[in-house]
Structure 1
Amino acid sequence: MNTASIISKVWSFCHTLRDDGVGYGDYLEQLTYLIFLKMADEYARPPYNREIGIPPGYGWQDLKQRRGAELETHYLQLLRRLGTSTGMLGQIFTKAQNKIQDPAKLYRLIDMVDSTSWVTMGADVKGDIYEGLLEKNAEDTKSGAGQYFTPRPLIRAMVECVRPEPMRTIADPACGTGGFFLAAHDFLSNRDNYQLDRTQKQFLKNQTFHGHEIVANTRRLCLMNLVLHNIGDIDSEGNISPADALVAPSPRTYDYVLANPPFGKKSSMSFTNEEGEQATEELTYNRQDFWATTSNKQLNFVQHIRSMLNSSGRAAVVVPDNVLFEGGAGETIRRKLLESTDLHTILRLPTGLFYAQGVKANVIFFDNRVASPDRWTKTVWYYDYRTNVHHTLKQKPMRFEHLADFIQCYNPSNRHERRPTWNPDTSPEGRWRCYDAEELLARDKASLDVFWLKDKSLTDLDNLPEPEDLAEEIIENLEAGLASFREVLAKLGKHD
């Protein structure tokens, strides 16, 4: 089968299952199990002859020869048995369930996977198939999968600015489906950027990337996504930890951290109370290496990411607006960031980029520095890509080209040689300017929540966005408001 026919077949079967109520997420999950089993079978044969650790009686050949009720029964047993395995095999099949109730359609899916040689297929082809399904799954807002999917154009722009180098380590403490790792891998593999030798290629494949993901299903998708993109090996332990990254200091430090920690301000833990009811409890991480103790998840991730960096490490992190202006612990953390790191760049993002509705976010770029009596941050450069910018997920999605001007202003080749595009007299609409750190520290609560451009929508009624863009933006804001009200209502119910 050629590339186009494989992609067409995978997608068409997805639509067939949707008629039976099997969503993109469930389809992707079953496809992950089956592709992994088929690849294990291919690796077990010449010329590879590799032992993946699948117990006798539970391999691909044992599965594909069954039909009907016998197939369904065996598949359930296989999922349970492999879920008790160690290494990547066990992580892929942890808490695995069969979501395809029709044995005939399950067999058709097995037959489809069997007709393709996945090991010899190009990483770009099988990777594109899987990434496409991940994005479709993220669009299903009811499933909540979108919170684990960062827009790929934004990720690519962040990587282009940081410009990771070969033989360096890259970490993500909340890696979701692995988007930052894939973009960094593409950047490092690009022959226009680097000509990697054999040692560098092996390091890129097996030692560069390190992540955390506490949600079992998301971690499963991440591991499969990486393997399909030729990162790691099917018979390795995998470099994605299931542990909560915030619980304890990182056992090692890294050269780069690229991350979009999960949305939502509070860390919480679900449990069953004495009355047998489901309840939640806010988590506060008491860590000696943190500057401030708080239950604000976003602020904790910022502190943790700083602690993950080695003495010359660099970070690019997506954070919501509250990280830039919240008082208390937020102010303490901002002041410490300005003092002990070089917080050199902030990209203000528009709404309409994320599947979580109404999110107002930014990307902060900072470099770690060794201890010094002097403050490290001298100036903070801002790029305002929010004011007078309108994006929606469907009608007007953000593309990589939209961030080309920011990347040029960032000047990745030498960020110490920058020129503002904003001038109050000659270019008042310029989006790129810098602020002295002393000026920012003098603001109320050391707020980094800075804007200088005029919102044209408030004054220019003749140039409003298109009606469909306005409608989608209104819907996003209403849904975000409803989500906030539900959160408040849930908290009130918890205190009754």
Structure 2
Amino acid sequence: MNTSTLIQKVWNFCHTLRDDGVGYGDYLEQLTYLLFLKMAHEYAEPPYRRDTRIPKGYDWATLRLLTGEPLEAQYLATLHKLGQQGGMLGAIFFKAQNKIQDPAKLSRLVQMIDEQSWVGMDADMKGDLYEGLLQKNAEDTKSGAGQYFTPRALIQAMVACMRPKPGQTIADPACGTGGFFLAANEWLTGTGPWLREHADWLGYEKPRLTRPQQHFLRDETFHGNEIVPGTRRMCLMNLMLHGIGDLVGEPSVERADALIAEPRLPVDLVLANPPFGKKSSMTITNEEGEEDRDALLYERQDFWETTSNKQLNFLQHIVSMLAVNGRAAVVLPDNVLFEGGAGEKIRRKLLESCDVHTVLRLPTGIFYAQGVKANVVFFDNAPKDGRVHTRGVWFYDLRTNQHFTLKTRPLKLPDLQDFIRCYNPANRHERVATERFRFYSHDELIARDKASLDVFWLKDASLDNLDDLPPPDVLQQEIIAHLEAALEAFRDVALALPARETVR
């Protein structure tokens, strides 16, 4: 069966289940459970003969022989049993539930997966199939899954600028479905259609990996956190289908809040898009002991400032994750660039302690979360020697007079070609200013109100000429985005107000 035929078959069955109220997310979970069992079965057979650690009686061989109610009962027992195991088994099946209530449809799904040899299938084919399902799930706005899905074109551009090297460790403290890991893996292995299609202007050359480097890439390169069990499960399966990790090893993605403790080991690269939303469920306590007494606390002696803004906390955490001279590319909302109070103090400390060298101002309309205005901040860690390490920051404005939507004009990698060229990954110390690319010295930035990094200089053409307004559908989406952003701001204000006591 070729790639397109299999993908169509999987999609058709997904549509059948949706008629029964099973959404993309639930379908993905069931597919993940059954794919894992089938792949483990194939690895246990010749020529692999691996010990997959799946208890006898709870394996694929048992499940595939049943139909009807016995199949449903066995499936439930299997999910429960495997969820109690350790390692990758326990991670995939943690709190697993059967969401397919019709035994006949469950039987059809088992049969469809059983007909295909998954271990021998090309990784690109498996990956394209699963990534396609993840994107469809993200597009289902009711599920809220879009918050875990970063536009792949943006991820690819960030990886193309960072150019990971064999033997480097790569982390994402809020990794969602694993998009950054997959793009970095594709860069290191030369897989992925985006590299083949755009290799010329990306200046891409496939690394030649030694056998030890191949093992390191599979088992030790990637380190992530994802606190939502279902999202973590999908991430682990996504990685495995792309050849990252192992069925019987320990999962490379922890089911834990990254902010709760200091990093265990420094890493070479951080690629991340931390969750949006200002408020954290906890407040960070810094080494001076400042805290919000009404909140559950983290004890982080390595943070510069106490704040309940989770993006600011993630930014501080990412700095603490980096090895000396480690590098980071992080998607951050606009408020991190201009907010006063703790935000200003953290920005000043970041400019001093790290070499913050590039900010990409992103257009609106590219994220599934509505109303988001965001940037990619690129910075390198530096030795703690008391010196100011940021000489200045290059800003690229991809926002002004740019209009994108998720459906009619989605962001594509060629839209970021000029930015990557200006970034000059081969030697970022040799750059040339353009209309959209400008340099601001450290002294200029520090002198700005609140040391704001929310820098823009281009004139919005639509303010002067009605002929330059974006198309109606784009304009409609931008108005909706602005209104939803305003509502979110009002919600933050409301949450910050003290509760009034009821007078009886």
| TM-score category, normalised to shorter length | over 0.9
Letter in 2 for 1:38: K
What is the match of residue 464 of structure 1?
A: 469
Counterpart position of 2:73: 73
- 1:469, distance to aligned residue in structure 2 (A): 1.4
Match of 2:291 in 1: none
Mind listing any 5+ residue stretches in structure 1 that lack a counterpart?
A: 270-280, 422-429
> Do the aligned partners of 2:278 and 2:492 also contact (CA within 8 Å) in 1?
no
1:103 aligns with 2:108: no
Residues of 1 paired with 2:483 and 2:248: CA distance?
47
What is the correspondence of 1:244-259 to structure 2 with a 5 Å cutoff? Answer: 244-259=257-272
- 1:368 pairs, out of 381, 391, 394, with 381
Output aligned runs, 1:394-473, within 5 Å.
Answer: 394-421=407-434, 430-473=435-478
Q: Give yes or no for contact 1:267–1:283 (8 Å, CA) kept in 2.
A: no
| Cα pair 1:311 1:368 within 8 Å, conserved | yes
Asked if residue 310 in structure 1 is aligned to residue 320 in structure 2, the reply is no
- Which stretch has the larger CA shift, 339-348 or 71-80? 71-80
462-471 or 115-124, which deviates more: 462-471
Shift of 1:479: 3.9
3-state SS of the aligned residue for 1:246? helix
> Aligned-pair distance for 1:438?
0.7
Residue matched to 1:44:
44
| Distance in 2 of aligned mates of 1:210 and 1:338 | 26
CA distance in 2, matches of 1:240, 1:66: 33
Would the aligned equivalents of 1:283 and 1:295 in 2 still touch at CA under 8 Å? no
User: 1:72 Cα deviation (Å)?
Assistant: 1.2
**Post-superposition offset of 1:480:** 4.0
User: Is 1:349 aligned with 2:362?
Assistant: yes
**Which residue is equivalent to 2:200?**
none
> Counterparts of 1:9-408 in structure 2 under 5 Å?
9-190=9-190, 192-268=205-281, 282-408=295-421
Paired residue type of 2:106: L
% identical aligned pairs: 66
| Cα separation, 2, equivalents of 1:178 and 1:162 | 17
Further displaced range: 468-477 or 374-383: 468-477
Question: How far does residue 76 in structure 1 lie from its aligned partner after superposition?
Answer: 1.1
Q: In structure 1, what is the Cα distance between the partners aligned to 2:494 and 2:337?
A: 27
Provide the secondary structure at the position in 1 that maps to 2:180.
helix
Measured after TM superposition, the shift of residue 478 of structure 1 is 3.4
Q: 1:474 aligns with which of 479, 492, 495?
A: 479
Counterpart-to-counterpart distance in 2, 1:495 and 1:193: 62
Closer/same/farther in 2, CA of residues 98 and 491 from structure 1, 3 Å limit:
farther
Distance change in 2, residues 1:493/1:62 (3 Å) = farther
- 1:475-490 aligned at under 5 Å gives the runs 475-485=480-490
Alpha-carbon deviation of 1:285? 3.2
Please tell me the residue identity of whatever aligns with 1:397: P
Tell me if the contact between 2:87 and 2:249 (Cα under 8 Å) persists in the aligned partners: yes
Distance apart, 1:234 and its partner CA? 1.0
- Relative to structure 1, is the Cα distance of residues 494 and 119 closer, same or farther in structure 2, using a 3 angstrom cutoff? farther
* Separation in structure 1 between the aligned mates of residue 167 and residue 229 of structure 2, nearest angstrom: 29
AA aligned to 2:253 is: I
Report the alpha carbon displacement of residue 296 of structure 1 after superposing the two structures with TM: 0.8
Cα deviation code 1:86-123 (max 9, x no counterpart): 00010000011111111000100010010111100010
Q: How far 1:488 sits from its partner (Å)?
A: 5.7
Q: Residue by residue, what CA displacement relative to the aligned partner does 1:457-489 show, whole Å, maximum 9, x if unpaired? A: 111111211112112222333344445555666
Question: Distance between the aligned counterparts of 1:457 and 1:197, measured in 2?
Answer: 54
- Count, aligned residues: 478
Report SS of the residue matched to 1:105.
Answer: helix
CA contact (8 A) 1:83 1:91 kept: yes
Task: Provide the C-alpha distance between the structure 1 equivalents of 2:20 and 2:486, rounded to a whole number of angstroms.
Answer: 33
Residues 297-322 of structure 1, C-alpha deviation per residue, up to 9 Å, x if partnerless?
Answer: 00000000001000110000000011
Structural RMSD (CA): 1.7
Q: Residue deviations 1:313-361, cap 9 Å, x none?
A: 0000000011101111111111111111100000001111111101000
Q: Counterparts of 1:137 and 1:259 in 2: how far apart (Å)? A: 20
Gap regions ≥5 residues in structure 2: 192-204, 283-293
C-alpha distance in 2 between matches for 1:231 and 1:371: 34
- Report the TM-score when normalising by structure 2: 0.92
**Is the contact made by 1:266 and 1:283 (CA closer than 8 Å) also made in structure 2?**
no
Q: Is the 8 A contact 2:371 2:480 kept in 1?
A: no
Q: TM-score, normalised by structure 1?
A: 0.94
Most deviating of 473-482 and 243-252: 473-482
Q: Report which stretch shifted further, 478-487 or 221-230.
A: 478-487
Q: CA deviation at 1:414?
A: 0.2
Per-residue CA deviation, residues 423-448 of structure 1 (Å, 9 max, x unaligned), is xxxxxxx1000001111111111111
